[in-house]
Structure 1
Amino acid sequence: MSQGLSPIAWFETVSRDEIARVGGKNASLGEMMRALAAKGIRVPEGFATTAEAYRDYLDANGLVGPITARLADLDAGKATLSETGHAIRSLILRSDWPKETARAITQAYGLLCERSGGGELDVAVRSSATAEDLPDASFAGQQETFLNIRGEAALLGACRRCYASLFTDRAISYRQAKGFDHMKVALSVGVQRMVRSDLGSAGVMFTIDTETGFDKVVLIDAAWGLGETVVQGSVVPDEYQVFKPLLGDPALSPIIEKSCGEKAQKLIYAAGDAPTRLVPTSKAERAAFVLSDSEILTLARWAATIEAHYGCPMDIEWAKDGGTGEIFVVQARPETVQAGRSAAHAKTYRITRKGRRLAAGSAIGDAAITGRVCLIERAEDIGRFVDGAILVTSTTDPDWVPIMRKAAAIVTDRGGRTSHAAIISRELGLPAIVGTGNATELLHEGQDVTVSCAEGAEGFVYDGIAEVEEEALDVSALPQTRTQVMVNLANPAAAFRWWRLPADGVGLARMEFVVSNAIRIHPMALVRYEELRDEEAKRTIATLTEGYPDRTEYFVEKLARGLARLAASVHPKPVIVRMSDFKTNEYAGLIGGAGFEPREDNPMIGFRGASRYYSPLYREGFALECRAIRRLRNEMGFRNVVVMIPFCRSPAEADKVLAVMAENGLKRGEDGLEVYVMCEIPSNVILARDFAARFDGFSIGSNDLTQLTLGVDRDSAELASLFDEEDAAVKWMIARVIAEARAAGAKIGLCGQAPSDNPAFAAFLVEAGIHSVSVSPDSFVAVKQAVAAAERKLDQETRS
């Protein structure tokens, strides 16, 4: 050891600018202890060996020459990666500690034991390389971590194994790919008091959405036991998402997603040679959420604080002590994948002519790809991987990285969005689907499949070679417009894909998509569960609502959280949520719905929209919708949500609906609540002034307005040629209601396909003075350009 330099540095004495001394991981731990403890963030105490101690270890054992020679043989093709790594690790593991370094480590360990109450303390021993956790290279999982290490001899052995792990096959390969000089990278070892998460829980959190880069959420993964199961992807963890901009108000609970993972096993302490072991979780553990809402919010606030301190998106590991209930941050590093992506350029993918769905899991990335399955279940068999194939396996660890680089896509049985397979797939730019549960059983070697991560947070494997359409979007040079251009969204899982579009809000958020896909149960079947005569439906509902003492809470919570994702995607811009607009035949198709719906010959113009909300047949169901909106706005904090009433036939009916809403805590004007009405019936146009006196705005539903103006069933193939949104009568209706709305001081927009399909129709709307148009996200760029062109033309005509 160089004279005067200690081989040991206590965490509280180092800062983040000392990566060269103690590596990225340990520098970050010291930074948080020094700078963030006063803000309530807890980091387990400990110390680090220095990079100089590592170099002294190599010098004292004469290892620099032999290691350099082995690496030269690898570069020259005289030895394989496996042979090289094994030989170098053997050299390091057979070597002895310099006495001064060994003494410093054991003395520091003794002091750490004293600080923790005496006795031999169990510690975590973590590798921290000096080329790690950098903005352009994460080195995730490249070196080893050893848990539940107790005693001086075991500690020195674990530290030696950390040194050796600098030359695992995957670490050598990664440095080669990133262009790092092997011999200029040193390794520090972090020795940290163990958090008894073997008795509690642990996980990972990111301060952005890992797939889309949406920067306003914290993503938290959680599982029982030690956190290695989450990092390695050996379990499907719970997943929580929290909206950061609303975390500052302690009265709000902006948790926008809670997904209960299977958590089939956990890593706990073990006796004997192996310090840890995997055991199955109990049925109760699998069914329960790992974290309470208050713990989720605490972690999210910590994540936001850490991100603000570092000034960049962060990847953070946390652990909860099962004995004390305390939560700790055990690692924090910069996020490197989304941070490096262009905000202006993006690609969108659309799947057409696809085969049957074979498997589903969490989507990593947003691409879609076709290819042939290469099924490998054991690490020993990775040598038979076929370059360019779709890798299907149970789980991956860092040893799989060399073949992951050669894959077209990756599909795993286990793991969540913060697992090894997910992290490496993102870094490599590969689409991946993790946590499918049984892909290795459902897919077979040589099978042609399509891997789609282009349909939201859930990814799908389809049979056969689908047609994949790819489109590049450039939003960097879009013109400004006076007319607002908004987007239509329905699927909460896909909402974050479009956050980079400079949209003026969401002009139409369809509640029925959340009901039919996330909830699936007819709300009246929850209100009157005991009256259900359909025993099969009752069993299904009992299964879906397990854990909810009040079954109606299942509907309210799922609906509020689904809509929250839509509201979060453009916050604080407005999101216009249309209350449920199923027709009776569609309501009847929900679980338990058949017994609560009348049979109609023409549901399209039957018992739908506003008429349901005050009817005894559905009034209690509408009350659940109102509860969800009230929670969304008042408890979660999404005051940017505007409520819209569909198919409101008369002003008298509007009065009834507004009264029912007020009874359920949604009073127009209270707490800033705006209520719009869909303009889709000729009476909405004819009596526009009366409707404007009752509502804050109109949204023209051009499909239904065309249908009812022309008397053409929009679903009739025989009448398809007569259905024309640009018919003179329809355009007269639209121009008339725009003029009436503006005269009354009400807002008015249009949500429909016509502006997307025809720039001339967009120009007509601009000339008529519409406030906004709302279109599908993939049409946004073209419509924005068409609106800008129409405004320029109108300005020129006005000046001339």
Structure 2
Amino acid sequence: MTKRNDSIRWFETLNNKDVALVGGKNASLGEMIRTLKSEGICVPDGFATTADAYRRYITENNLEEKIRQRLEEYRKGDKTLHKTGDTIRRMIRRGKWPDETAIAIRDAYRELCRRSGEEEVDVAVRSSATAEDLPDASFAGQQETFLNITGEEELLDACRKCYASLFTDRAISYRENKGFDHMQVALSVGVQKMVRSDKAGAGVMFSIDTDTGFPDVVVIDAAWGLGENVVQGSVTPDNYTVFKPLLQDKTLRPILNKTIGGKEKKMVYARGAGNTTRNVETSARERHSFVLSDDEILQLARWAAVIERHYGTPMDMEWAKDGDSGELFIVQARPETVQSRKEAGVLKSYHLKQKGEVLLTGMAIGESVAAGKVQVIKSASEIERFEDGNILVTGMTDPDWVPIMKKAAGIITDHGGRTSHAAIVSRELGIAAVIGTEHGTGELKDGQEVTLSCAEGDQGKIYEGILEYEETEVNLDDLPETKTQIMMNIASPAAASRWWRLPCRGIGLARMEFIINNQIKAHPMALLKYDELEDKDAKRQIRELTRHYDDKSEYFIDQLAQGIAMIAASQYPDPVIVRMSDFKTNEYADLIGGRQFEFSEENPMLGFRGASRYYSEHYRAGFALECAAIRRVREKIGLGNVVVMIPFCRTLKEADRVLEVMAEEGLVRGQKGLEVYVMVEIPSNVVLAEQFAERFDGFSIGSNDLTQLTLGVDRDSAVLKEVFDERDEAVKKTIAQAIRAANKTGTKIGICGQAPSDYPDFAAFLVEEGIDSISLNPDSVIGVIRRVAEVEKRL
């Protein structure tokens, strides 16, 4: 082989065994072009310079000894990291190309132009370190990428800059910490036909939930323009979550969640002043529109599943959409390096023991808590002054920031999404981060004490002051099997994602009202009768909430369906029992626009709530929206594991009326596998249990309300708190009667009330009585499993 040919390899000649030759990034591009093209996955054409070409460049410019000298000065403390990196990069950029390498690059570029049918094709020039993406080393993001490079001279210059970027500050620091010999790592340059995403959009995609490690989803970030803004975290992108197990069924659309991002700017082509790209502000229409259609989201997700299956590990991918052709492309793929390596048998959880004033919110990265003093650093030129253990607050980060990110107790940024640089590095380092707060650098001050919490769902919160919190570690190994089905009570979609590792067999209670209160926020009747709203402030708030929807009732259906789908996916295919809304009138009135559609009651706890609302003309139309959301989750998204549960159903006649209304809305018990449960929380449910069993597929005991009505005590009364006790003999006899009736009729019965979570002896009582399932608060699951197993062994 001649030296010239030794310098270049076309992507289609490469595979994953060529990492030492062209680095992980380029080897992966070759692997996909060779093996996944038949699966319909599109990867732009191109070529790679080899590690030999890099070493020849270093040798012929007499750089090795000079580089080693500069690194030794850094190790001795004679020079700073920044000064060392800057000097080495300048030396490499000033080098001259060996003739044979320059000729090889020129020839390959001309061939790429010929293949593309263009006189001078635009290319992306990407760095690919030869030790990159190995199981014990991830160099991704440490080197440079140059976009919209046109012509042979511009290409040669960009390749030289890629070589220099092997010695970015972050790369030097990383290799020093890992013990790599800097001169044993080489750099390959990938030269890839540009995808005209400057005219469309681009982003990042993971085949695993990067925050929780949930393996059954694809997470996609998208922004307008070239993808660098998403990678760098300089914009807040759209975010889409897709459920992998249902992707093969083309009749379904298993998109669990779509969140529109701010997408404040976009990177486009530029010429002049040495720049090939520039950022411009996005239009209002672009900011308020999704970058990808549902079909495009699903196509990318299917590709992610195929790529993951081929590589046999969760993957981190970059994608781009060509604005000229409308085609989608995968432009990078590498193994995910954080969640896929976590210990499966250990689950850490964090809990704030105090509450404080919430100063800011953003996206929670990770699930931990951090507290400390704020230090605002707005520019990389100031990073030398950062003090260990402070909370780093900045606009965004890039690879140069990594040395101080390692010293931070927590990280807060103004911009970025879940796949931004700050988010990725925070996960790698195990540091709590709140990303995309918008105003962190403006509102937080140096020395201010704050607590950063990522332990309360997908919204991260910054609290005033140092708050007390606790960290617990649960070992999931060697848990006993139980005959009794252990399930979870879940309120929020984020909590479902966080607790998926717990060894449960479904969710016994998912509260619809939590999603309505926290995600939708508006009263359903206020959405349906928006034009009739008298409260101008409520009208303004609803207009803002629904600004991305043409139809305000569609806002309710879509948001509710997304929340339910995220919960249902976390336990699929095990049952997830979704209780229809059970607000009291005073709680409904507190929703935006709600006061106009609710009336005052002396005792809302025993008033117009639960089943009685569903067939009433006061709320019948609102209940129809709830039913539409359930249908969407089960029939369109495909999560048929959703079981519907009716709360506070007082009489048999009421049961019949609710089932009739549901059927009118397309939810027919027994059709398409639909099961309908009823809560057992009123004495009439127990007394007439056998007749209720003729109408419903299962029972779930609500021990709080059942105790209240059995003992005749307000469960919220501070004066009577000593009287309210689920373990009272009368309550236990009532529950035992309900279990016997269910067992007699062959009807499933479980409990979703608080008692077994609080009292292990109550869980033992339920097992002894023959209950089928116990649904618990997540933090009680492990202890109750052990207790139930002990009781079952005795029986």
**TM-score, normalisation: structure 2:** 0.99
Q: How does 1:691-730 map to 2 (within 5 A)?
A: 691-730=692-731
Farther-moved stretch of structure 1 (592-601 vs 685-694): 592-601
Q: Secondary structure in 1 aligned to 2:197?
A: coil
1:496 aligns with 2:500: no
Q: Which runs of 5+ in 1 are unaligned?
A: 795-800
CA distance in 2, matches of 1:17, 1:63: 29
Report if the CA contact (8 A) 1:22-1:48 is conserved: yes
Aligned residue for 2:382?
381
CA distance in 1, matches of 2:431, 2:151: 43
CA distance in 2, matches of 1:547, 1:144: 36
Q: CA deviation at 1:79?
A: 2.9
Q: Secondary structure in 1 aligned to 2:701?
A: strand
Q: CA deviation at 1:40?
A: 0.7
Report if the CA contact (8 A) 1:29-1:332 is conserved: yes
CA distance in 2, matches of 1:52, 1:140: 21
Aligned residue for 2:74?
74
Q: Secondary structure in 2 aligned to 1:17?
A: helix
CA distance in 2, matches of 1:662, 1:507: 23
CA distance in 2, matches of 1:64, 1:114: 37
Report if the CA contact (8 A) 1:135-1:335 is conserved: no
CA distance in 2, matches of 1:382, 1:531: 56
Q: Secondary structure in 2 aligned to 1:473?
A: strand
Q: CA deviation at 1:494?
A: 2.1
1:144 aligns with 2:144: yes
Report if the CA contact (8 A) 1:762-1:790 is conserved: no
- The residue type paired with residue 213 of structure 1 is G
- The residue type paired with residue 486 of structure 2 is V
- The residue type paired with residue 702 of structure 1 is S
Aligned residue for 1:176?
176
Aligned residue for 2:268?
268
Q: Percent identity?
A: 64
Q: CA deviation at 1:4?
A: 8.1
Report if the CA contact (8 A) 1:256-1:561 is conserved: yes
- The residue type paired with residue 319 of structure 2 is W
Aligned residue for 2:449?
448
Aligned residue for 1:567?
568
Report if the CA contact (8 A) 2:269-2:278 is conserved: yes
Q: How does 1:341-380 map to 2 (within 5 A)?
A: 341-380=342-381
Question: After superposition, what is the alpha-carbon deviation per residue over 1:425-467, rounded to whole angstroms, capped at 9, x for unaligned?
Answer: 1111100010011111111100000000001111000000111
Question: After superposition, what is the alpha-carbon deviation per residue over 1:282-339, rounded to whole angstroms, capped at 9, x for unaligned?
Answer: 1111111111111111110011110000000000000011111111000000000001
Question: After superposition, what is the alpha-carbon deviation per residue over 1:541-566, rounded to whole angstroms, capped at 9, x for unaligned?
Answer: 12211232221100000000000010
Report if the CA contact (8 A) 1:456-1:495 is conserved: no
Q: CA deviation at 1:786?
A: 1.1
- The residue type paired with residue 386 of structure 2 is F
Q: Secondary structure in 2 aligned to 1:95?
A: coil
Report if the CA contact (8 A) 1:756-1:782 is conserved: no
CA distance in 2, matches of 1:77, 1:592: 64
Report if the CA contact (8 A) 1:253-1:635 is conserved: yes
Report if the CA contact (8 A) 1:61-1:96 is conserved: yes
Aligned residue for 2:194?
194
Farther-moved stretch of structure 1 (58-67 vs 33-42): 58-67
Question: After superposition, what is the alpha-carbon deviation per residue over 1:191-225, rounded to whole angstroms, capped at 9, x for unaligned?
Answer: 00011111110000000001010000000000000
CA distance in 1, matches of 2:213, 2:326: 32
CA distance in 2, matches of 1:541, 1:397: 38
CA distance in 2, matches of 1:26, 1:532: 59
CA distance in 1, matches of 2:550, 2:340: 42
CA distance in 2, matches of 1:357, 1:46: 50
Question: After superposition, what is the alpha-carbon deviation per residue over 1:650-694, rounded to whole angstroms, capped at 9, x for unaligned?
Answer: 111100000000000000000000000000000000000000010
Report if the CA contact (8 A) 2:29-2:333 is conserved: yes
Q: Secondary structure in 1 aligned to 2:396?
A: coil
Q: How does 1:309-328 map to 2 (within 5 A)?
A: 309-328=310-329
CA distance in 2, matches of 1:540, 1:751: 35
- The residue type paired with residue 778 of structure 1 is D
- The residue type paired with residue 650 of structure 2 is R
Q: CA deviation at 1:571?
A: 0.5
1:471 aligns with 2:472: yes
Q: Secondary structure in 2 aligned to 1:642?
A: strand
CA distance in 1, matches of 2:233, 2:789: 48
Aligned residue for 2:399?
398
Q: Secondary structure in 2 aligned to 1:577?
A: strand
Pair 1:385–1:2, CA change in 2 (3 A)? farther
Report if the CA contact (8 A) 2:4-2:103 is conserved: no
Aligned residue for 1:308?
309
- The residue type paired with residue 21 of structure 2 is R
Aligned residue for 1:798?
none
Report if the CA contact (8 A) 1:675-1:696 is conserved: yes
Aligned residue for 1:42?
42
Report if the CA contact (8 A) 1:136-1:336 is conserved: no
CA distance in 2, matches of 1:774, 1:278: 51
CA distance in 1, matches of 2:488, 2:686: 24
Q: Secondary structure in 2 aligned to 1:18?
A: helix
- The residue type paired with residue 427 of structure 2 is R
Aligned residue for 2:130?
130
Aligned residue for 2:597?
596
Aligned residue for 1:753?
754
Q: CA deviation at 1:83?
A: 2.7
Q: CA deviation at 1:168?
A: 1.4
Aligned residue for 2:84?
84
Q: How does 1:514-533 map to 2 (within 5 A)?
A: 514-533=515-534
Q: Secondary structure in 1 aligned to 2:6?
A: coil
Aligned residue for 2:7?
7
- The residue type paired with residue 313 of structure 1 is P
CA distance in 2, matches of 1:612, 1:173: 63
CA distance in 2, matches of 1:632, 1:156: 53
CA distance in 2, matches of 1:557, 1:396: 34
CA distance in 2, matches of 1:449, 1:140: 32
CA distance in 2, matches of 1:554, 1:83: 54
- The residue type paired with residue 33 of structure 1 is I
- RMSD between superposed Cα atoms in Å: 1.0
Q: How does 1:213-252 map to 2 (within 5 A)?
A: 213-252=213-252
Number of residues of Structure 1 aligned to a counterpart in Structure 2: 794
- The residue type paired with residue 522 of structure 1 is H
Q: Secondary structure in 2 aligned to 1:256?
A: strand
Aligned residue for 1:797?
none
CA distance in 1, matches of 2:376, 2:73: 32
**TM-score, normalisation: structure 1:** 0.98
Q: CA deviation at 1:3?
A: 5.2
